[in-house]
Copies of this chain bind each other. A is one copy, B any other.
Amino acid sequence: MFQLDLKSRESIYEQIINQMKELIITGILKEDEKLPSVRELSKILTVNPNTVQKAYRELERQGYVYTVAGLGCFAASIADVKRDEAAIAQLTETLRTTLRQLTYLGFSKDEIDALLMTLLQEDQQKTEELKKGSEHI
């Protein structure tokens, strides 16, 4: 279910956040469905409970899950996911910088265009596959 890469530059709690987002956005984790408990997931991933806790807290802050003390953490409605303007601004800035770097490396507009189209298609396909996968359950 989860694939952690300890060697990755992405920190563990960020990997947990992103993979959990994937499960929620694609509907594999349905609205109001319970997430594994902090302790449970920490055992599965063999990481410290605090690390999982940190990820869950951030997911709650961003509106992906909601917490009921004593009961656990549950997937929120996708509609509740906050379009955090700060996060969007940061992602936009990352895109801007990255595109700029490609230009520095001598990529023409058309080459960048082609690359982006490929990546976007890839992204859409991945989303579709995950959604289909969850329907079969």
Chain A residues within 8 Å of B, Cβ to Cβ? 6-7, 9-12, 18, 21-22, 25, 61, 66, 68-71, 78, 81-84, 86-88, 90-92, 94-106, 109, 112-113, 115-116, 119-120, 122-124, 126-127
Distance to closest chain B CB from A111 (angstroms): 10
Measured between beta carbons, the chain B residues less than 8 angstroms from A66 are 7
Main secondary structure of the interface of A (DSSP, over half): helix
Distance to closest chain B CB from A44 (angstroms): 18
**A91 pairs with B98, CB closer than 8 A:** yes
Known: A10-B97, A91-B101. 19 other contacts (CB 8 A): A18-B100, A18-B104, A22-B100, A22-B104, A25-B103, A82-B86, A82-B105, A82-B106, A84-B105, A88-B102, A88-B105, A91-B98, A94-B98, A96-B123, A99-B120, A103-B124, A103-B127, A109-B120, A116-B120
